[in-house]
Amino acid sequence: MPNALKVFQAFDRALISEVPTDDSASLERKLAAAAGAFADRDGWLAPHARISILRKTAVLLEGRRDEFEKTIAREGGKPLADAIVEVTRAIDGLVDAADELRNFAGREIPMGLTAASAHRLAFTTKEPIGVVAAISAFNHPLNLIIHQVAPAVAVGCPVIVKPAATTPISCLKLVSLFWEAGLDEAWCQTLVTDDNELAERLATDSRVAFLSFIGSARVGWYLKSKLPPGTRCALEHGGAAPVIVDRSANPADIIEPIVKGGYYHAGQVCVSVQRIFVHQSLMTDFIERLEARVAQLRVGDPLLKETEVGPLILPRETERVSAWIDEAKASGTRIIGGGRFSETTLLPSVLVNPPADAKVSKLEVFGPLTCVYGFTELDDAIALANSLAYAFQSSIFSNDIKSALHAARRLDASAVLINDHTAFRTDWMPFTGRRQSGYGIGGIPWTMEEMSEDKMIVLNHVK
């Protein structure tokens, strides 16, 4: 098939399908269609129509959940048990966006507070910002698209979404559901390409009012630097999420959530547990328990219901993560577990006290490993947790409320989870990286705010 993108199963690299790609001409057609739809204010959908489309899309997705679950597992390599959760979240996200419109409104601005403002009534209304360009990542190939597209549809922005080249099928299937639910194609389109230059043209076109980017910090910050004046954006990158295990914590109670947060989707999550700082008095017990639980993780084909850890998205990623582990091992780091299951799949590992300058200590691994470091003073652990250029979500496990709140106040993070892992998220809570980890705020209601603008209307009613 000419001009097609080959999509492979992440686990065994078997070909799933060949997806037609877009070129420069099709990008121009889609941008013109989106800009034209937005320019026709009489054609804007009323809130009740947008609510109806979002709810109908949720119903259609529910009816095809098995198909979407298997698609996520195949193209993205996410274990089926977690793919089931992703589809459930996606359905809820559509409903959440529809429900949010019941309270999505402006407010009255008080007048008459001075003589000059007397006899006036002022209020704000919400308007869509304009055309949205959404560039997405592979690791949640359905739900990340929901995070970007559902808010745009809800507020009335035409959206062009570019899925990751490795996982476009979930996105294409979802957009077709929006069309089936009654949304005109001009209001929700896809750009399928592995051409970075074409993706950059989408992001930086002057007709785009808002860029939603989920992916690497290097690409996100580069695109932000290229945006035309006035274009707004939200960037969601990653980090090396820290977890502190306070001396009052009970290792028996906390291993399960830490393992879930660290090895879920083979660690390919932007807030995956990566750096675990454990009080020295607990180190031996904690490591023994962590080693035992990690050894029990079932690794293999993501389409099998029992699989807990599947492949990395590309074989080259297994090579990269393996090289980082080897670097740490060469520096004397103790490695627990690890090894290779297949070309695409690594066995989970634990690295004990890797050097501070090792890649696994200072960069986002995006692989099935965690690093454990000992500490004696809580403030020292907090300083180490805050020492990188990334700041997203963090957590502390503690049975001492004083220590927990002490850490919560001092950890440099957009969210501090107490007695929970760093990868916890609901789709209606704010989700944002600080510093190099991101810009703007995610989460469906918060993204709706980002994709809208307030317009103030002032009525002079002097008789």
Catalytic residues: 236, 270
Task: Report which secondary-structure segment, H or E, holds 149.
Answer: helix 143-155
Give which of 136, 103, 99, 106 is closest to 234, Cα–Cα.
136
Contact 399, 249 (CB under 8 A): yes
Q: Quote the tokens at residue 61.
A: 């997705």
Query: Cα–Cα distance between 168 and 17 in angstroms, integer?
Result: 10
Can you tell me whether residue 220 is helix, strand or coil? helix
Q: Quote the tokens at residue 408.
A: 């919560």
Query: Cα–Cα distance between 434 and 420 in angstroms, integer?
Result: 20
Report which residue type is found at 414. S
Report which residue type is found at 372. V
Task: Report which secondary-structure segment, H or E, holds 275.
Answer: strand 273-279
Can you tell me whether residue 62 is helix, strand or coil? helix
b/e per residue 121-144 (b: at least 16 CB within 10 A): ebeeebbbbbbbbbbbbbbbbbbb
- Please name every residue paired with 371 in a beta bridge, in sequence order, or none if there are none: 275, 351
Can you tell me whether residue 213 is helix, strand or coil? strand
Q: Quote the tokens at residue 388.
A: 């990188």
Give which of 18, 5, 4, 26 is closest to 198, Cα–Cα.
26
Q: Is 267 left (phi over 0), alpha (psi -120 to 50) or beta?
A: left
**Crossing angle of the two packed helices 143-155 and 47-63, in degrees rounded to 10:** 160
Query: Cα–Cα distance between 246 and 403 in angstroms, integer?
Result: 8
Can you tell me whether residue 114 is helix, strand or coil? coil
H helix and E strand count, the chain: 15, 20
* Integer CA distances (angstroms), 229 to 72, 198, 219, in order: 37, 20, 19
Contact 259, 372 (CB under 8 A): no
